[in-house]
Structure 1
Amino acid sequence: MPSYRGANPDKDRYVPHDYEADPLWRKKPLTPAQLMVHDVRIETWRQDRDPMLEINERTASSLVPDTAAITTSASYVRAAEATSNAIEKQKFTSLEEDHGWMRYLRLQQHQRDAYDREDSAKCRWLHCSSLFPEYLAGFLWALSDDTSTMSESMRMLDHALQRQTRFSKHGKHFAPFFQPLRPSSSSGTMEVYPLLVSVPFLDWTVLGASPPLRFQVDRREGFQSTRSSAHLLRSILQYFYRLEDTADRESTQVFAKHKPWTTNRELDLKVRQWYGHYPSGLNVDELWILAIDPEHIVTLSSNQTWKSRWPPLQLTSRISDVSFRGIRNGFVTSDTDAEYTSMTHVIACLTGAVGMLHRNFWPDMVLCLTDRYAGHLSQLQYRLHRSPSTKLVMDLIACQEELNIVIQITEQQIDIISELQLAHTAADGSANVQDAASPASLHPTSSGHRGYGDFGVRSKPRHRATYRQLSSSTLTDPTAQLLDNLQRELVDLQDLRDNADRLVTRTIQLVNIRLEDHGKAILVFTVVTIVFLPLNFVSSFFGMNFSDIRNMRRTQSLFWVVALCVTAGVVGASLFLAFSGGDLLEKIFTWRDARKEKQLSTTTVLRQTLTGGAEHTFRVYGVERDGRYT
C-alpha cells in the first residue's frame, strides 16, 4: 500500500482548494471541505504544568493533496486483495474511486510522548455533518488498513443497516443499535474494532420547518438529494408517532408554551449569549459512531444551518470543549496509566451527545431539560388550585406524553451504552467493569513511553485539572460515569412523570367535585324551565290577536289543559330520547343493515359444482314489488 502524506505541512501558507470548481472533485460524494478533523495529542502548552492531553482541530484540506481526486491504478490493487468475489471486487473498486482519497487522513505516526512529531497523535477524530448509508462503507474502506477482514466487515455492515432500517411517514430512519463489524477469531474471542454505534439524542430547535442538512445536496448533480439521510431529524412527536402528521401539535410542545426567559432578565441574557435564539421545540437527532481502529474514529450527525458553533448547539464543540476535557481530567486524577484510544473517544462523543440538555452532565446548562418540564408542571399545578378544568387535564396529559417519550429515549441510550460496555469488557478480557473504557491493553506501555500526566512514575493522583470538572459523578471510569449520569437523569424524569400522573388524578377529582355543584345548578334551571317555558308558550299562543282565538267562549280551563298536555308531551319526549334514544337509533341501523343484506342476497352469484368437476354459475335477479321480490 502506498504511503500517504499531507499535501503541505506549512499550514500558514496553504491555500484551500476550490473543490466546487474542480470537475474531478465534483464527481466525489464527499470532499475535504465537508469534514472536520481533530487530533488528540499530548501538548506542553503551559510551562508550569505537566504535558496534558489536548484536542486540536486540523484543516482537512491541508492534509489531502489536490491530486487525490484522481484514483491511481495502484489503488485498485487493494480492492483485488480484499476479496476474490467479482461482485464485491466491483463494489470495492467503486468505493475506492469515491472515498479512496480519505486514506490521506490516516495518522502517519502514533504519538508516544510530547516530543514526537507534530503529525503524530494518540487518536484522530473525523466528523461529517451529514450521513448517507454509503458514507459508512466509504469511511470503513478508506480508513481501515486490514484488508484480510474487509470483505466480512463490509457484509456485516450491510446486514446491520438492513436489519435496523425502519420506515415511517417522515422518512426512512434506523433503530438505535450497537454492532461490532469484525467476525470472531479462531480462538473464539471477539475483537472490539471496528464497531458501529447509533444512538438518539435530544437537541433544541425552533418552530417551523427544519432547515435541510448542510451537506444534503448532491454535489455531482447540483440539486438537493432525494436520497434519505440515515439520521433523520425529527421532533419528539414524529419520533413516537411514526405514521401520523404531527404538524398540528408541534406548536403545543412544552418548549413552545413555557418561556422562563420572559420574566427573568438574567436568564434571557444567558439564553441569547449561549443559544443565539429562543429554543421553542425539542428534536430527536442521531449520532453515528464508526470506530475503525484504536487510532481512528468517525462520527456523523446532523448539523443544521441555523446552528452556531457555541457548545450547547454544535455537537463537535460540545465534545471537544467540554466532554473530552471532563474525561481527560478523569485520566489525570487516576492512578492508572491508560492509553487514550478511539474507544475512549467513543465515550467522549456519547457524553457530549446524550448529555446535550442534562444538568447532571455539566452544571453550566442554563436551560436543562428537567428544569423546563419542572417549571411547566409548576405552572400547571398553580392553575390546578386556582381553576381546575378539562383543558388543564389535556395540558397535563400532553406534558406527560412528552415525558414518556423522553424517558423512552433515555432508556434506549442506557441500553446501547451498557451493550457497548459489556462488549468492550468481553473483548478486553477483563471482568472488571470499572476498567472497561480504559483499554490500556490495546497499546502496551513500552519502557520509553511516558504518560500524559507526568514524565516519571506517578506516586499519587494529580488533582490539577486544567479545566473544570463538569460532571457530578465521582467515578473514574468514563463509561461508568456516563451511565451514572444517565441513570440520574432517568430518575429525575421518572419523578416528573409520576408528579404529572398525580396532578392528572387530582385535577380529574377536582373537576368531578365541581361538576357535582354544577349538576345542582343545572337541576334548578331545569325545574324552572320545565315549569315556565310551556306556560310562556301557551300564553303567547293564546294571546295572539286573532278573531278565531280571542273571541272564543271557553273559560280559563282550556289554557291549563293545553299547557299541561304540551308540558307532559315535551317532558316525556325528552326523557324518552335521553334514555332510550340510543337504543332506538341502534335498532334503526340494525334494521337498515338487515334490509341491505336481504337485498344483496337476492342478487348473489350461485355456484354449484356438478359431477365431473364442471362449475356452472347462475345469477338470480329480483324485482321488488309491494315489499316482495318476484
Structure 2
Amino acid sequence: MSEALRRDFTLRNNDLETLNNKFALNAVGIKIYSYVELSDTHLSVLSTNDSSGETLTTIRLCIVDSRSGRLSTPELPYEDEEVIPLNTTHIGCPIFKDEDILYGYYIDEIAALVKNFSAEERAAYHALNNEIMKGTEVDIHQFYVVGTQGEPGSMKILSAHPSLRTFLDYGPAECMMNRLRGDDNDMGVSNGNRRPMIELRSASEPAAPTLIVTTVDSEDASKDASTADTSPSLTPPSVAVPKNIHTRRPTLTPDTVDGSSLAPRKPVKAVQFSDAPHKDVDQLRRPQRAHLFPLPSSSSERFKWIHVPFCHSGWVPHVLTTISQEKGDPKLHSTLLMDKMWFSQHNRSRHASSHARFVRPMAKCLLPRGAERHDGITTPLSANSDVQFVVYMPYLHWDTFKNMQRQAALIKQRSLQAHAFPVTWEVANSKSMEHKLIWQHLTSDRPVHCRRTLDQYGYPSLRNTSVRDADQVLYKRTKPDENAKSSKGASTRKKLSARSSVGRRSGLTGTDENAAKVLMVDQLWLWIMDNQTVITFFAPKEKEDNDNGLSREGDLRGEIYQDINGDFANQCADPFDFAALAVMHAVKALLGDRTTDRNLQVFRIFEEYISILTEQQTSSFKHFRNNHRFQNAKDISAAQHIDNRRDLDALLELRDIEDELNTIDKLIREQQACVADMLSQYDHLTPRDRGHNGVEFLHITSQFLVEHKEQVDGMLKSARAAQRAFKDLLDMKQKQANIVEAHLAREQNEVAADQSRSVMIFTVFTIIFLPLSFFASVFGINSREWSSQPNNYPTLSNIFTYMVSISLAVIIIALLVAFNRFSRGMARRAWKYVAIPILKMLRWLHVIKRLPADVPYGGAAGTSIDLEKMALAEKERGDAKRLSTISRTHSMRMNWEDELRWHRKNSAIE
C-alpha cells in the first residue's frame, strides 16, 4: 500500500468524514442496505523484530465490519439503514458470493423501486423538490458595529435572502458577499469591486429627506469615507422618488441594504413666514456631497443570525453541516445533532399521525472542555472552545380555519400514498410552499413537522382531532355569523339579539369567512454553534389572498426583525442576547400587546365568553325561581323543568373553555421551564461568552409568563365556578321535576283509588250474583234427578263429569299456549299444516256441491261459460241467485282449479 493510500485510510480522516456526511445528507429518504462481512481476511504484513529483523506475518481481521461498513455514525445517525451480514470476506461482498437468496432480494427491491417510479413521476418529483429548494428563502442577518474609535458604537444589520439551494451550495459567507456585490439572484455573476453607499436626498419636499442608495467605486468610496462629514446633507432631487422603491435597482432603500424598513423621517418644523430673506431654504437646496453608509468589515462583525422557515428535520443536518464546513470544522455540529441532544427529543406516536410528531421542550448549554457546571446536570461537551446552546420550545400562534382545513385534507390525502409520487396537480400548482413541503416530506425518514392545532398539541395521542378543532372557542367566537349573512335587511335589534344568544354555535362576531381563526402551537428550534453563529427554525404564517395584512399579526420573524432594527439593536451584542430576545418574542408572539386585530386577542375573547355564560347562568337561576312560584298542584307543568338544553349547552361550552385553558396552561408551564433553564445556565456563563442583556430579556419573559399564568388561573376558577353553578341548577331542576312528577303521581293515585272503589263495588255484585247464576243454570238442566223421570238422560253426575273434564282440558291447553314457547310453536305448525288445508278442502267441497250439474267443470283454460244460463238454471230449480254471486263462485272455482293443477305439476316434477 502506498503512502498516499495510508494517509487516506487513516482513522479520523477529515476528508473521508466530510465525504461520508455529504453522502448521508444526500441519501436522506432513500432506503440504504449496508452489507458487512463475517469471515476474516488473511493479510500478510511486514513486521520487525529485534532478533530476526523484518519478517512477513499473517493476520486475520474483518475489513468491512459493522463499524466501518455502516453509514450511520454517533454524530450523524441514519435511521433508514438496514445492516445485512454476509458469510464471506470483503472480496465476496460486492458480488454476493454464496448468497444467491440475498442477491435475489436485492434485485427485486431495485426492480420494484424502478417499476413504481416511472420517468414522468420521477420528473415531477424532482421538479417539486427543486421548486421547494429554490422557493424557500433563508434569512442571513449580519450584526456589526459602526462608530468612531474610542466612542460607543451602534449596532447595524445587513441582510441577505438567498434560496435554500444557494445557501447550501455556497454557504452564508459567500451569500453575504454576493449581497454586498449587489447580485442577489445569480451567484455566478460579479459586478466588480463595487459596493453600495447611502446618500441622503429630498423626496417631494426639501425638508423631508429620504434614504436612497447609490453605487460608487471602492477607491472613490474610500477617499470619500476619510473626509466625509457625519452630518446628513440634502440636495434637490432631479426626479421625484416613487412610492414603491423596493424593486428599483440600483436605486435601493435601506430596506434592501440592511433588511430594515424605511428609516423614520425627521420631524419637520412648522414654516413661519416673515419679511426676512429665506437663507435657510436656499441653503437646504444647495447640492452637497453624499453621506456614506458604513458596511461591515472583519473587525466590526459580531455574529450572524441564520433563519430557515418551516420546521423540517431533514434540513437541519444540511444547514448545520454547511456552516461547519464553511468554518473549516466538520465536527462543529456533531454534538448538537447527537442522539441525546436531537433525535431522542423527537416524539413519535404509535398511530404515526403527523400532529404527534414534535420535538420535546429543552434548553441545554454545552460548555467547552475544562469548564465546570454548577447545577449538577450532565450534558455533552461543546465541539470547540466556544459555548454551544440548544433551545426547543413551543409557542402559541394562530391560523385561519379555512387554511387549517385545507392542510388537514392535504395531510389525509398524502397519508394514503406510500410515496410522494405521483404528485397531484393541486400540489404542483399550489402557491403555498408549506403544502408542497408537506407533500414532499411528510413520510420521509426525517419528516417535516407540521403546524399543530391547540387540541393536537394538548392530545397528541388522539388519531383525529377534527371534531375538537371545530369546537375551539376562538373559532366559535370569530366564525361568520350565519344570521347576519342570511338576513342583511333585518333590523339592528334582531341582529344583536341573535348574537347575544349563547349555544354550541353562538357568540359570532363577523361575516367574513377569513375572520374564523383557530389557535395553533408552533415550535422554535434554536442552536448557537459558536460565538458568531445562531440558527433558528420555525414555521411562518403564510400570506393568504385578501388577508388585509393579517399575516403580519403575531409573525415571530417579523417581530424579531423589527426589534433588532430598532430599539433592541444595540442590546444584542452576542448570540446569547439574541437567543433570549427570540425566546421572549416567541412567548409574546400572540399574547403580547402588539396584536391589533380584536379576533386575535385570545385572553379577552375567553374572558368575554366566560362572562356571557356566567350572565346566562344568573338569568337561568332567576327564571327557575320565577317558575318555582305556584299556588296549587294544578298549576305545575313538568315540561318546563325537563327541557334543559340551553343550560346543558352552556355547561358543555364551559367544559370546552376549561379544557382549552388547561392546554394553554400546559404550554405556559413548558415555556416557564425552558426560560428557567436558560436563566440558570446563563448565570454560569463567563462575561467573555455572553452579554448581560440576555438575562434581562429572560427576566422580562419570566415575569410575562407569570402574569399570564395568573390570568389563566383566574379564568379557570371563573369557568369552574360557573360549571358548578350550572350543575347545581340542573340538579335543582331535576329535583323540581321529581317533585312535579310526585304531584302528578299523587293525582293519578287519587283517580286510581276512585276507579278501584268502582271496581270493588262491581266485584261485590259479581261475588253475590255469580253463585246465584251458576246454581240457577245447574238447576235449569233437564237431568234425571231434577225431572223425576227415571228414563231421562243424562244424569247429573254425567253432566258434571263432562263439564269438569272439558273445562279442565281447555284451561290447560290455553295456559300452555299462553305461557309455553314450544306449545305456541306446535300450535302454529298445526294450524298451518293441518287446519288450513282442511279448511281449504271444505271450502272447495262446498263450492263443488253448490255448483249446477250441467255446468262444465275442469275444462281447458280459456273455456267460456255463459253465466246468464247458470243464473236461469238456478232460478228454475228454485235456488235463484244474483249474477254477481254466481260470478264470484265461478272465479273461486277457477282459482282453486289453477292451484290444484300447480300442485299436481310440482308433485310430478319432484
Larger radius of gyration: 2
- TM-score for the superposition, normalised by structure 1: 0.57
1:57–1:313 distance in 2 versus 1, CA, 3 Å: farther
**Distance (Å, rounded) in 1 between the aligned partners of 2:366 and 2:753:** 88
1:176 maps to 2:413: no
Amino acid at match of 1:377: I
Partner of 1:115: 294
For each residue in 1:508-558, what CA deviation from the matched residue of structure 2 results, as whole angstroms up to 9, or x when unmatched? 22333333322211211222334446978999x99xxxxxx9xx9838999
Residue 459 of structure 2, aligned match among 241, 251, 259:
241
Partner of 2:210: none
Whether the 8 Å CA contact 1:216–1:225 is kept in 2: the answer is no
Amino acid at match of 2:516: P
Partner of 1:392: 650
- TM-score for the superposition, normalised by structure 2: 0.41
Partner of 1:497: 716
**Distance (Å, rounded) in 1 between the aligned partners of 2:451 and 2:757:** 68
Whether the 8 Å CA contact 1:161–1:174 is kept in 2: the answer is no
Whether the 8 Å CA contact 1:41–1:54 is kept in 2: the answer is yes
Matches within 5 A, 1:67-216: 99-104=168-173, 115-117=294-296, 122-144=302-324, 145=326, 150=331, 153-154=334-335, 156-168=337-349, 169=351, 170-171=353-354, 172-180=356-364, 182=366, 184-188=368-372, 193-207=387-401, 209-211=405-407, 214-215=432-433
Partner of 1:408: 666
Amino acid at match of 2:347: R
The Cα RMSD (Å) is 5.0
- SS at structure 1 position matched to 2:524: strand
Matches within 5 A, 1:92-491: 99-104=168-173, 115-117=294-296, 122-144=302-324, 145=326, 150=331, 153-154=334-335, 156-168=337-349, 169=351, 170-171=353-354, 172-180=356-364, 182=366, 184-188=368-372, 193-207=387-401, 209-211=405-407, 214-215=432-433, 225-227=442-444, 229-244=447-462, 245-259=464-478, 277-303=514-540, 305=542, 307=544, 313-314=551-552, 318-319=555-556, 321-326=558-563, 331=568, 339-359=572-592, 361-362=593-594, 364=596, 366=598, 367-387=600-620, 389-428=647-686, 435=692, 437=694, 477-491=696-710
- SS at structure 2 position matched to 1:398: helix
For each residue in 1:565-600, what CA deviation from the matched residue of structure 2 results, as whole angstroms up to 9, or x when unmatched? xxxxxxxxxxxxxxxxxxxxxxxxxxxxxxxxxxxx
1:32–1:182 distance in 2 versus 1, CA, 3 Å: farther
1:428–1:406 distance in 2 versus 1, CA, 3 Å: same
Whether the 8 Å CA contact 1:294–1:341 is kept in 2: the answer is yes
Q: Which stretch has the larger CA shift, 252-261 or 21-30?
A: 21-30
For each residue in 1:317-362, what CA deviation from the matched residue of structure 2 results, as whole angstroms up to 9, or x when unmatched? 8345444545676558xxxx76533333223332332212214x43
1:55–1:351 distance in 2 versus 1, CA, 3 Å: farther
- SS at structure 2 position matched to 1:284: strand
Whether the 8 Å CA contact 2:577–2:692 is kept in 1: the answer is no
Partner of 1:31: 133
**Distance (Å, rounded) in 1 between the aligned partners of 2:585 and 2:548:** 13
Report the alpha carbon displacement of residue 365 of structure 1 after superposing the two structures with TM. 5.5
1:342–1:261 distance in 2 versus 1, CA, 3 Å: farther
- SS at structure 1 position matched to 2:515: coil
- SS at structure 2 position matched to 1:426: coil
Report the alpha carbon displacement of residue 238 of structure 1 after superposing the two structures with TM. 1.9
Identity of aligned residues (%): 13
Residue 738 of structure 2, aligned match among 519, 539, 551:
519
**Distance (Å, rounded) in 2 between the aligned partners of 1:556 and 1:429:** 117
**Distance (Å, rounded) in 2 between the aligned partners of 1:23 and 1:380:** 52
Aligned pairs, number? 443
**Distance (Å, rounded) in 1 between the aligned partners of 2:757 and 2:657:** 54
**Distance (Å, rounded) in 2 between the aligned partners of 1:436 and 1:284:** 28
For each residue in 1:73-130, what CA deviation from the matched residue of structure 2 results, as whole angstroms up to 9, or x when unmatched? xxxxxxxxxxxxxxxxxxxxxxxxxx4543555656999x962349986443333332
For each residue in 1:166-211, what CA deviation from the matched residue of structure 2 results, as whole angstroms up to 9, or x when unmatched? 2234334234333547464134467674333221112222335252
- SS at structure 2 position matched to 1:132: coil
1:320–1:137 distance in 2 versus 1, CA, 3 Å: closer
For each residue in 1:391-435, what CA deviation from the matched residue of structure 2 results, as whole angstroms up to 9, or x when unmatched? 32222122111101001101111111221232233223599x992
**Distance (Å, rounded) in 1 between the aligned partners of 2:578 and 2:683:** 16
Amino acid at match of 1:296: T
Report the alpha carbon displacement of residue 382 of structure 1 after superposing the two structures with TM. 1.2
1:135–1:535 distance in 2 versus 1, CA, 3 Å: farther
1:251–1:319 distance in 2 versus 1, CA, 3 Å: closer
1:330–1:155 distance in 2 versus 1, CA, 3 Å: closer
Amino acid at match of 2:343: Q
**Distance (Å, rounded) in 1 between the aligned partners of 2:388 and 2:657:** 41
Please list every run of 5 or more consecutive structure 1 residues that lacks an aligned counterpart in the other structure.
2-19, 45-49, 69-98, 265-270, 439-476, 543-548, 559-630
Whether the 8 Å CA contact 1:311–1:318 is kept in 2: the answer is no
